[in-house]
Amino acid sequence: MTWNTEEQDTQRNEVLTDFFGGHQEEELTSEWLERLREFEGLMMKYNSAIREITTKLEVLNDELSFSSRRNPIESIQARIKRPYSIARKLRRLGQPVTVESISTNLNDVAGVRVICPFLDDIYAISDMLLKQDDIQLVAKKDYIQQPKPNGYRSLHLIIEIPIFFSTGKEMTRVEIQIRTVAMNFWASLEHQIRYKNDVVVQPEIVEMLSACADRIAETDWEMMQLRDQIAAQGKGHR
């Protein structure tokens, strides 16, 4: 891989310093370049997996929009963990900070977040996605049925999907989070409150966050009921 643009130089320096613990001013020996290539090759694989999942979700949304005249997916967001975050999580798990250790020990390097209008859309999208025969479910955590103590709600799926390269097929893991617009609103603000301020949140604040999440969950349920009532009235007038 050649680093011939400013953006690529920035990416290379980030990997060098944040993951491998090197220094930008170090001369890039053939050994350093090989390690960087290995890291970038793995990230390319994760990016390919994200494209595969995103395409599948877009196709499902198009099909359901055509058949039911309604989009069950509001938006799709995707990201690859930054080198610093990858290294930090490996250390927290007590695992070596190496390229080989990433795919062995981490399930969430590639992440896709699906935002749905209504609560039942979450489970519909999850069911349809998991029925596809090239997707393998590794783990499922339903934080909607069992919210976290702070009130966090979302459906998390860890899946494996085949990526076809010139050298053959490689199974790659992706974390998929599926949540409603309301859940995403709460999660975004909670992230700003807790993590952007870099302080230890007191128990009473956690309780308040949980209470806010409960009220938002009630709104999610009521909006879904309103949708069904309006749809039923529309059928009655035909």
C-beta atoms surrounding 61 within 10 Å: 19
pLDDT > 90 fraction of the chain, expressed in percent and rounded: 66
Q: Is residue 164 part of a domain?
A: yes
Assess if residue 177 is contained within a domain. Answer: yes
Element (H, E) at 81: none
Query: Is 229 part of a structural domain of the chain?
Result: yes
Q: Give the per-residue pLDDT at 109.
A: 97
Cα 16 to Cα 169: distance, rounded to the nearest angstrom: 29
Candidate from 57-71, 104-118, 187-201 with smallest mean pLDDT: 187-201
Q: Identify the band that residue 214 occupies on the pLDDT scale cut at 50, 70 and 90.
A: very high
What are the structure tokens assigned to 31, written together? 């050994």
Percent of the chain clearing pLDDT 70 (strictly above) = 89
Whether 74 is covered by a domain: the verdict is yes
3-state secondary structure of 175: strand
**Closest Cα partner for 165 from 42, 5, 66?**
42
Residue 226 lies inside a defined structural domain of this protein: yes
Q: Strand 110-116 relative to strand 168-180: parallel, antiparallel, unpaired?
A: parallel
Which distant-in-sequence residues (6+ apart) come within 8 Å of 3 by Cβ? 9, 11, 12
Residue 218 Cα distances to 24, 212, 213, angstroms: 51, 10, 9
Structure tokens at 8: 């690529």
pTM equals 0.88
Residue 140, pLDDT score: 98
CB 139 within 8 A of CB 160: no
User: Considering the chain, what is the average pLDDT of its residues?
Assistant: 89
Mean per-residue pLDDT, 63-68:
86
The pLDDT assigned to 205 comes to 83
The predicted-structure confidence for 138-173, as pLDDT tens digits, reads as follows 999 999 999 999 999 999 999 999 999 999 999 999
Mean pLDDT, residues 44-59? 96
Average pLDDT (87-91) is 94
Q: Write down the pLDDT at residue 26.
A: 60
Task: Tally the domains of the chain.
Answer: 1
Over the stretch 177-187, which tens digit does the pLDDT of each residue have? 999 999 999 99
pLDDT at 27: 62
Residue 2 has pLDDT above 50, yes or no: no
- For residue 21, give the amino acid letter: G
CATH number for the domain harbouring residue 94: 3.30.460.10
User: For position 1, what pLDDT does the model report?
Assistant: 41
The continuous run of DSSP H or E covering 198 comes out as none
Give the lowest-confidence range in 12-26, 68-82, 90-104.
12-26
- DSSP designation for 82: -
Does residue 1 sit within a domain? Answer: no
Residue 68: which pLDDT band, with cuts at 50, 70 and 90?
A: confident
- Report which residue type is found at 148: K
- The count of residues in the chain is 238
Q: Rounded CA gap, 102 and 99, in Å?
A: 6
Q: Given this model, what pLDDT does residue 32 score?
A: 76
Residue 130 lies in a domain: yes
Give the domain range for residue 25: 6-236
